[in-house]
Amino acid sequence: MPTPSEPLEKLGFLTIGSFDGADPGPGHETTLGVIELGERLGFDSAWVRHRHLQYGISSPVAVLAAATQRTRRIELGTAVIPLGWENPLRLAEDLATVDILSGGRLNPGVSVGPPRHFADVKQALYPDTADAEDFSHERVSRLLRLIGGEPASGFVGTEGIEEFSDRVQPHSPGLRARTWYGGASLTSARLTGEHAMNFLTSSVVKAEQPGTFAEIQASHITAFRAAHPAGAAARVSQGLVVVPTDTATASQRAKYLAYADARTPRTAQPQGPQRLLFARDLVGTSAQIAEELYAHAGFQQVREVVFALPFSFAPEDYLQILTDIATHLGPALGWRPPTGN
């Protein structure tokens, strides 16, 4: 349990990577620039969201492949790739390739379930197999087996001048240990532990039992570690929206507070048939945010965080927020950038 006397071990951030549909290049370039900025500021990890048929990153693996060539130290993660859109064998090849390019810095985060708006997209996505597709956790198991080097083919050997392997190539031995699952329910938490994955818990949970957001999130972390072979040592990362205002201008502070206020009503009670409960965005000075985090039952159980950047701010806002997180909030939580950064 982190306390003011116990330092936070890893500090990361998450960006959606939004862009203008009429001119997508600058938005993608901004995303890469934000990742480069994160490395300069000493962040331990940079993560990108995954958005299909929206104006956000649709191919995080491709974006992170580019980021591997523009960074040297920062870990690169996906939060999260929805496996309902993916062929696990092909995805395993892409992930292993990017991990090799990065020198072992990739942290793939995934989730399962039917694709959003599946009835509208299934003819384009699975025109012949939509009714037969398995969107359960077995899709995760397949991906993990393939990443881990289990056979993908019954054939191995030489055919003419071509040599064939029976497992995914390239093989990256450390990648399996760096896989994450983004979960919001007790079932997901337990299955993540049983799969010996790392657990990404964010600013939304399913209110399957009474309690505050923080209490429910803490119960998920407890269930995950109870099911994980590593027990209390199993890795968990918490991802809340935090917006420090230490060096913000007056107009920026007003914008940030208005953004949080507009989103606050959804935090009052569970939303929709899945009873989704959202965390309140934390806006204020780093000292104020640190005090709130230390009182948060979920934060009390983690040693690393991936703070989410708000969706629709300007590049200068992200510069200020990331700089304040690295130079004010991180230190207020006991974090220090890597030596030699």
Q: E strands within 114-177?
A: 157-159, 162-164
Tens-place pLDDT, residues 24-45 = 999 999 999 999 999 999 999 9
For the chain, how many structural domains are there in total?
1
Residue 2 inside a domain? The answer is no
Residues in the chain with pLDDT values less than 70: 1-5, 340-341
Residue 194 inside a domain? The answer is yes
Domain that holds residue 282: 10-332
Give kind and range of the element (H or E) at residue 301. Answer: none
Residue 216 inside a domain? The answer is yes
Residue 4 inside a domain? The answer is no
**What's the confidence (pLDDT) of residue 2?**
52
Q: Which of 79, 73, 86 lies closest to 60 in space, CA to CA?
A: 79
Long-range (24+ apart) CB contacts under 8 A made by 155-164 are none
Residues 6 or more apart whose CB falls under 8 angstroms from that of 35 comprise 15, 46, 67, 70, 71, 74, 76
Whole-angstrom distance, CA of residue 256 vs CA of residue 281: 10
Whole-angstrom distance, CA of residue 102 vs CA of residue 121: 33
**What's the confidence (pLDDT) of residue 280?**
97
Tens-place pLDDT, residues 303-314 = 999 999 998 899
Residue 3 inside a domain? The answer is no
How many CA atoms lie less than 13 Å away from 309 in the CB half-sphere?
30
**What's the confidence (pLDDT) of residue 203?**
96
Tens-place pLDDT, residues 126-153 = 999 999 999 999 999 999 999 999 999 9
Residue 171 inside a domain? The answer is yes
CATH of the domain at 110: 3.20.20.30
Residue 267 inside a domain? The answer is yes
* Identity of the residue numbered 299: F
Tokens describing residue 55: 């104006």
Residue 311 inside a domain? The answer is yes
**What's the confidence (pLDDT) of residue 1?**
44
**What's the confidence (pLDDT) of residue 98?**
98
